[in-house]
Chain A
Amino acid sequence: QQQVKQSPQSLIVQKGGISIINCAYENTAFDYFPWYQQFPGKGPALLIAIRPDVSEKKEGRFTISFNKSAKQFSLHIMDSQPGDSATYFCAAVIIQGAQKLVFGQGTRLTINP
């Protein structure tokens, strides 16, 4: 019940295209859903996050869509650029709990020029 399932494992998108990464969770107690971006040789860094009381959050070319009833959320990268090539992790946390981040398995995104 603590798992967050992420797909696909890897994704190749042409420059200018839309990259979509999906995640699903079971524990309805999760109430904060961040996405982390990791470049080779670096630690993950927070990209964007959403609370389940909104269905969408947009920051620049990055958008999180959230479906509370389906217990699913996704990251959309519009106009994908080669610099977006990285590994993306979705995560979930219970804010008022011990704040233990549970990560998905990660998606390795490659944007072809």
Chain B
Amino acid sequence: AQSVAQPEDQVNVAEGNPLTVKCTYSVSGNPYLFWYVQYPNRGLQFLLKYITGDNLVKGSYGFEAEFNKSQTSFHLKKPSALVSDSALYFCAVRDIRQAGTALIFGKGTTLSVSS
């Protein structure tokens, strides 16, 4: 089965501190993993993806994610959080079982960055 789990509903961090938003996955075969961000009353914006290659993936707005095969994790990270990073973050895995290989999303994690 293809699935992702985001164990934290909310993450709180002070501006300037590093942030981590956790994601674990369960897949049959190779994982194709994605992170999206949703700002209030907006659609989803693509941040980054892991397909193959380097375990550390760099994306938009200074975000990066570390793929860890042994721990089946794909945590989103940023060295120094900004208040403007406050948003809802979704981890997703490509569903390779179905024709369209649609994304299967986690429940989302709300990131709150305080000044």
A and B associate: no
